Amino acid sequence: MPRIAGSILVATAVVAGTVLTGSAASAAPVAPPNTVPGLDVSYWQGPNVDWQKIADNGAKFAIIRATRGTSTADNATPYVDPYFARNAAEARKYGILQGAYHFAGPDKSSGATQANFFVDNGGGWQRDGLSLPGALDMESDPYSTLPKKPGVRVDCYNLTPQQMIAWIRDFSNTYFKRTGRYPMIYSNQSWWRNCTSSPAEPTGTAAFNLTNPLWVANYKDPVRNPEPAMPGGFAKYTFWQFWNGNDKPLFPGDQNLFPGTLKQLRAFAQKADKPVANVGVKVTKLGKYRIGKKASFRVQVTNSGPDESGTTRVYVKFPAKKLKVRSVPKNCVKASYGLKCTWKTLPKKKTVSFKVWVTVTKQFKAGQKPVVNLGLQTPNILDPGKKNNTSKIQLLITR
């Protein structure tokens, strides 16, 4: 992914839908028919990428560098790409599906640290119809100054394959927990073999084949060579970076393709790996709380979407045996701590509300201020609104 001038010299051009190859053509290969063309860009393309021209030339997706490592000393370019915000906004403005990538620095900090840094600086995913899941760029670092050590490779950041796999998994799992999508993994056949292989998997690990979409780098004309050289362990690819030369490409930066239709690409952009729903619980006081009398409070559970909530549980915890349940609301059962309420699922934009009737026992004294605590669990979804998963009220006991 880092720019190294003169990396590719072969050129092609397109004339009346036919790809012509040769140095005289002075144009890079293009995505073949029945695929979707796109690009990736970074700091190296400068501050004035012409996104309207890119859209007019047919690009349907763009993957834009957002971050690198977690330190300004990581490399010769800024660790938060200074042009990312502008590039992302402009791509979206012209209807181009937009993704982001993070250039990994496994020798700098943990995978979790870098995943959080990536998400916090524009690398997240949202179901808005224009977002692609973020990508983790796994390749050698041309700016590396790491010393050579026995038993490990500098291009693998002086990590063993087992350590590298653990680092990638740490990044991937953290990104998934933050966004509901597994990050794409960008790599090439050679690096993946050198840095993630083992005697049992000599061409590279298959640990991420079922979870992480592959963005493969393999530079050749996709018309003449319709399949890229694949990193070991992956059964298929989602994006192919097929050209990174400076020989008059159709789009600035690197040339990419998606091996399907635009409809399929849009479906890929929309689909979460785990349902996402913002679910919250709220409890409110109703009337007075007098010793020996019945009283009530209201519980409200809301799913603001965008998906169904899946199994949803609310725990209503009373002050120890001093409030007595008078009637059990629908979907609730008595528990040692108070009530446990369960719904198989809550549709998006759905609110359920119910009263809890109790007796204020004579174990209370006037002036006491007991607290009723509520907790909510949605084990089968990603819930970004965790702060709304608890609620409490303080009651004032009177005679």
pLDDT for res 386: 73
pLDDT tens for residues 194-252? 999 999 999 999 999 999 999 999 999 999 999 999 999 999 999 999 999 777 899 99
**12-270 and 277-398, same CATH topology:** no
Domain positions in the chain are 12-270, 277-398
- For residues 153 and 141, is the Cβ–Cβ distance under 8 A? no
Confidence at 21, pLDDT banded by 50, 70, 90: very low
Of the candidate ranges 2-16, 32-46, 288-302, 336-350, the one whose mean pLDDT is the lowest: 2-16
Residue 332 pairs with which residues in a beta bridge?
Answer: 341
pLDDT for res 278: 87
- For residues 66 and 123, is the Cβ–Cβ distance under 8 A? yes
Of the candidate ranges 19-23, 33-37, 385-389, the one whose mean pLDDT is the lowest: 19-23
Residue range 342-369: mean pLDDT, rounded: 94
Residue 97 pairs with which residues in a beta bridge?
Answer: 61
> With 50 as the cut, is the pLDDT of residue 166 above it?
yes
Residue range 275-286: mean pLDDT, rounded: 90
> What average pLDDT does the structure give for the chain?
89
pLDDT for res 91: 98
pLDDT for res 78: 54
- For residues 310 and 275, is the Cβ–Cβ distance under 8 A? yes
pLDDT tens for residues 194-204? 999 999 999 99
Query: Which tokens sit at 240?
Result: 């192919």
pLDDT tens for residues 300-346? 999 998 789 999 999 999 987 788 999 899 999 999 999 999 999 99
Confidence at 74, pLDDT banded by 50, 70, 90: low
Which residues are annotated as catalytic?
40, 137, 139
> Rounded to whole angstroms, what are the CA distances from 247 to 11, 49, 142, 255, 347?
6, 17, 22, 11, 52
CATH architecture type of domain 12-270: Alpha-Beta Barrel (3.20)
> With 80 as the cut, is the pLDDT of residue 22 above it?
no
pLDDT for res 2: 56
Q: pTM of the full predicted structure?
A: 0.72
* Record: fold of 277-398: Immunoglobulin-like (2.60.40)
